[in-house]
Every structure is written in C-alpha cells, then in structure tokens.
Chains A and B, each alone.
Chain A
Amino acid sequence: MIFRRLTFWLILALAAMFIILPLRGNNAALREDLILVAIAVTLVSNLNLMIGYTGYVNFGHIVFYGLGGYIGLYLVSERHWNLFLSAFVAGVLVSLVALLFGLGILRLRGAYFALATIGVLVAVNGFVANFNPWGRSTGMYLSFDAYQPLGGPMRALWTTYYLIIGVMALSLILSLAIKRSKFGLGLFAIREDEDAAVVLGINATVYKAIIYSISAFLPAIAGALMFYKNGMIDPSIAFEYMLSLEGIVMLMLGGQGTVVGAALGAGLYERLRSFLLTSPKLSNFHLVIAGGLLLLVVLFASGGIIGWLYRLLPRSREVIE
C-alpha cells in the first residue's frame, strides 16, 4: 500500500510545510516564492513520468501548462464558469488533446519522438497565436469581477495558492503511485528495452499514449489556476520555451526516474533561478549556468542528486523513491 511508503508521508509533510509557512504573518512575498516552486515541482514531476519512467524526452511539456491556462482563463472570463470547474475541465480537455497527439507521435521511437515534441510546441504556439477567440498574440485579460466568487482578489489569491499546493502534492502522489504499480513496471520495461517489453506482452503504444495523456492532466490544472491568479495570459508566457527546457534541467539535476529527485531538483533549481535572475551581475547568465549544470550532470552524474545518494548509500533506495 502506498500509505506504508515513507515517501508518501514526506510528500504530505512537504505540502503541510508549504501551507503553514506563508501563513505566519500573512507573508505574501514568501507565498509568491513558494507558488513558483510548487508550479515547478508539478511540471517536473509530471515530466518525470515521460522522461524518467518511460525514457521518452518531451521538449514541449509546457504546452500542457499553457493550454490548460488558456482553456481555464477562457472558461472563467468568457463563459463565467467557476474556477474549480474550469480548472478541472481544462485538465480533462488537455489530457484528451494529449491522448490524440500521443496516438500520432508516439508511434515514433526515441529521438524522433523528442523532435516531434519540439514540433508540438511550435505548432500549438502557432495555432494559439492565430486563434481569434483567444485573443491571438495579445492574449486574454481577466476582469476584477472574476475574483468575486472567491471573495475578492485578496482571498482568491490565497485560495488559488492552496489549490496549487494541492495539485503539487497530487502530482507527487501520482508519481509515487505509478511507480509502485504494475502499469509503472510496464513503463520502466519500455524505458529499458522497448522491443523486449513488447515481446513480453506490453502494448507499448497504448502505455505510452496513456502516460503522455496522464502527464498532461495536472500541469493543465496548474496552468489554469496559475493564469487565473495572474489574471492574464498570452502565447509568449503560456508557452515559454525556456521554462519547458529548464524543466528538463531540474529533472536531471534532482534525479530522473525518482519521485523525490523530481521535487528536489525543481525546488533547488527554482531557488537558484530566482537568485540568479534578481542578482544584477548574473541575471544575463542564468541560461549559461543552467546549461553548464545540465552538461555536467549529463556527462558525469546521469543519476542526478538522488542517483548520487543511491550510489553513496545503496540502502537509501528502499526508503527514498
């Protein structure tokens, strides 16, 4: 049972910490910092389902987040749905879109798939930037009235914060649950040797399409919540290529294929990034540093921080997953 895993309780403790910390003194600045970390953890742990579990690189993971944001914001502002329903519908719709894409491009193997995901990003970005109901390249804005159902902008910010923490915790629990399931074992088999997995009776195409679709669900909800909180969206912030790429750096840094590694990498890198971006001398070089970090991890420590821990203390494998 998942409740008997230490990692499960670690995840709950993390979520509790995220909720309690900014409450002390109504600390809005800390809340804004933590919300970025929570979004990063959500994106990276879902990206991990593709890269770490299945061995398929997705360069366009941000598409799910951005599309979720667009659908969520459209439903809230143009159709006047409530936030909860909008976010949930955004998640479902984006998952369905991912399933459709997935059935097409997941027939491609390995590197070809990775290239196709760059194409998905370009294509979706191109489509949204030309799509009239979504405001083309200027995007959409939310009027202040949209925050009234949640008790005004002030209350709404806190509510979305808690919801995003919830989505973060769900992402990590989902990762853990998949890792401990038979479905997860199938994914790992595909990662190790897809031909052998097929011979052993795993329907690789279906498995891959399902995990691609699952990895879209929570990021889309996170996107809907986040862009509701920000009150605006346009193609360049919704489909920020760099964020998609930095997600891969975070995952590799923490340790691909591990639940804790995804969270750790996301947290560490997000803090590093905030530090670099706000430092006047280094802000221009944050990409250089991120690239250098990725190169070092790929060349010399392909397991990331958690992989290094596993090598140092082989027994930690049992506890930290």
Chain B
Amino acid sequence: MSGIMASMIDGLMVGSVYGLAAMGLSLIWGVMDVINLTHGAMIALGMFGMYLLFHAVAMNPYVLLLPVLAIGLMLGILVYWMSVHRVVGQPPLMSLLSTFSVNMMVIGIGTALWSTSPYNVNFSLRGVTVGAYTFTGNHIAATGAAVIIALGLQMFLYHTRPGKAIRAVADNREAAELMGISSTMVLTVAFGIGIALAMVSGALVSTLFPFTILSGAGYQLKSFVVTILAGLGKPFGALLAGVLLGLLEGAVTPFIAVSWIPLIEFGLFVVVLIFFPRGIFGRATA
C-alpha cells in the first residue's frame, strides 16, 4: 500500500512538470486560438538546451533554467513571426499545418545534430528518505521550480499591465484593440511565453529522465490531455490538471506495463473532450 503512495507522490511531482508544459500550450491556445504543434519539438529543444548549457558551464541546472527561459522567449517570438502571424484567425487547418511544419524542421535539424540516441543530464541532488522509499532530490527540486514558475506566470497574468493585456486579447481581441492594446504585440509576447514554458518544462524533464530528440512528442500528447482536462485558457488550472495526470500515472504504473499508458491517456482525452468539453474545472463561462 505504501508502495502505491510513494508511486503516487512521485507521479504528483512529475505531474507538476507536465502541468508547466501544458500551461504554455493552454496560453497560446487560449489567446490566439492556435493549437501549437511545435510544442513537443520545443520541449525536446529545452531538454537539449539544458544538456548543452550544463556541459558548457557545469552549474546547478536549476540556475540554468533562467537562460533556458530567455532563449525560449526569443525562439518563440521568432517562430511566431516565421510561421504563426500570417495564419492567426484563419481556419484551424492552416495554423495546425504551419506550426506542424516548424515541428518537422526542428525535429529534422535535431535528428541531424544529435541523432535519435538517448542523452541525459548527469546531475543529482540528495534525496529525502521516508521509510523504505527515497524521493530523489531532482524530483523535489523540479517540482519546486515548476510551482514557482507557474505562480510567476499567474502573477504576471493577473497583476501586471502586459499580463492583463494578454487576458484582454484572449477574451475579446477586437474590444482589446479598441482600448488601445496592440494585439500583434500581445500575440507575439504570449507565443514567446508559451514556448518559453515548453522549453523550461523540457529542461526540467531532462534533469529527471534520459531523453532523445523525439521524446517531446510524448510530452506533447500529455500536454494536450492536460489542457483539455483543465479547460482552455486556464493556465493555473493546467498546472493542477497536470498534477492530477501525474497522480493518475503514479497510481496505475505499479499495476500495468508502461507501454499501455499512452492508450489510457488517449482514452481519457477523448472521454473528457466528449463529456466535459469545458474541462473538469470548467463552469459555464460567460
């Protein structure tokens, strides 16, 4: 019984990282109605960004999250201008395909540079031992980092002018423009933040598990599930839903083979979409 508890606590900690990735997806989706299919590729880039930085400067990887965030922000702005700006407001087919093409290019370049063999960031913090179980320091630190970043985003969105502008554009783009908000500027920044969150969550994952350039796809699927669970445009809800998904994974992994997990997640995804289209935290929004 305590084994399941330990597995669930572990899942809860990993889940906070899923939540962070999903926050980025949810932000972009909510603000500009674009489903960002580059998300998985960006998560993978975050992993490799952390790997390269760690090998270049050999500092505590949790300090290196800051440069990863900054690189993510810039990269996001670049991707926005390259592929998203022209398709905002067009049928979903167009934005799906344009972000997807960037995904292909990133994965292609990544595969050429790093092949598809596994890498890992060789760093571990001292863990905490409770009874027969040890929770690794990396898991605890990653959870802490994820929660701090999520709270930071929440503060930014609700208590600063640019954050309020982002929420205004998400609510009603035309009205926001009439109030003198430059929606192009807001969309650019929102996309940048979304990608930065994806990269930072990838960087956190890289301190927990080995990874390849293709690992992002699995986390992208989890991000979709989490976003749908939380309901669109609720970044903080995404964090909670991520924790919930992690908890669920932790609860089932002692009983079934890991290769079944995508199947379960997909089932959950479809069930939630069909029966709770506004997400499990969703009330009818005005």
Contacts and interface: CB of A to CB of B under 8 A. Distances in A.
Contact of B96 (A57, A105, A125, A129): A57
Given A51-B93, A294-B101, A287 B108 contact: yes
B35 A111 contact: yes
Contacts of A294: 97-98, 100-101, 104
Contact of B104 (A114, A120, A126, A288): A288
A288 B112 CA distance: 10
Contacts of A288: 104-105, 108-109, 112
Contacts of A245: 100, 104
B101 A292 contact: yes
Interface stretch (A34-42, A199-207, A262-270, A295-303): A295-303
B132 interface: no
A110 B29 CA distance: 14
B101 A298 contact: yes
Interface centre among A112, A249, A284 (most CB of B within 10 A): A112
Contacts of A51: 93
Contacts, number: 114
Contact of B259 (A105, A126, A289, A293): A126
Interface string A94-107: 00000000001101
Given A111-B92, A127-B263, A248-B97, A291 B270 contact: no
How extensive is the interface on chain B, given as a class? Answer: 35 or more
B221 A118 contact: yes
A287 B86 CA distance: 23
A114 B86 contact: no
Contact of B92 (A114, A119, A286, A292): A114
B166 interface: no
- Classify the interface of chain B: helix, strand, loop or mixed: helix
A38 to B, nearest CB: 24
Contact of B270 (A104, A130, A292, A298): A104
B87 interface: yes
A127 B260 CA distance: 7
B221 A291 contact: no
A294 B101 CA distance: 6
A275 interface: no
A174 interface: no
A287 B94 contact: no
Contacts of A290: 104, 108
Contacts of A104: 270, 274
B96 A114 contact: yes
Interface residues of A, number: 43
B273 interface: yes
Nearest to B98: A298
A178 interface: no
Interface string A172-204: 000000000000000000000000000000000
A285 B108 contact: yes
Contacts of B104: 245, 287-288, 290-291, 294
A299 B83 contact: yes
A122 interface: yes
A130 B96 contact: no
B91 interface: yes
B270 A57 contact: no
B269 interface: yes
A291 B102 contact: yes
A123 interface: yes
Given A127-B263, A288-B109, A298 B274 contact: no
A55 interface: yes
Interface in B74-126: 82-83, 86-87, 91-94, 96-98, 100-105, 107-109, 111-112
Nearest to B112: A284
Contacts of A112: 273
Contact of A110 (B92, B105, B107, B266): B92
Interface string B271-284: 00110000000000
21 contacts: A51-B93, A55-B93, A111-B96, A114-B35, A115-B224, A115-B228, A119-B265, A119-B266, A119-B270, A120-B266, A127-B263, A130-B260, A252-B97, A285-B108, A285-B112, A287-B107, A287-B108, A287-B111, A288-B104, A293-B101, A302-B94
Interface of B: 35, 82-83, 86-87, 91-94, 96-98, 100-105, 107-109, 111-112, 217, 221, 224, 228, 257, 259-260, 262-263, 265-267, 269-270, 273-274
Instruction: Please list the 6 inter-chain residue pairs (A to B) with the smallest Cβ-Cβ separation, ordered nearest first.
Output: A287-B108, A291-B104, A291-B105, A288-B108, A119-B266, A284-B112
Given A241-B217, A288-B108, A291-B104, 5 more contacts: A55-B91, A57-B93, A116-B270, A118-B221, A299-B98
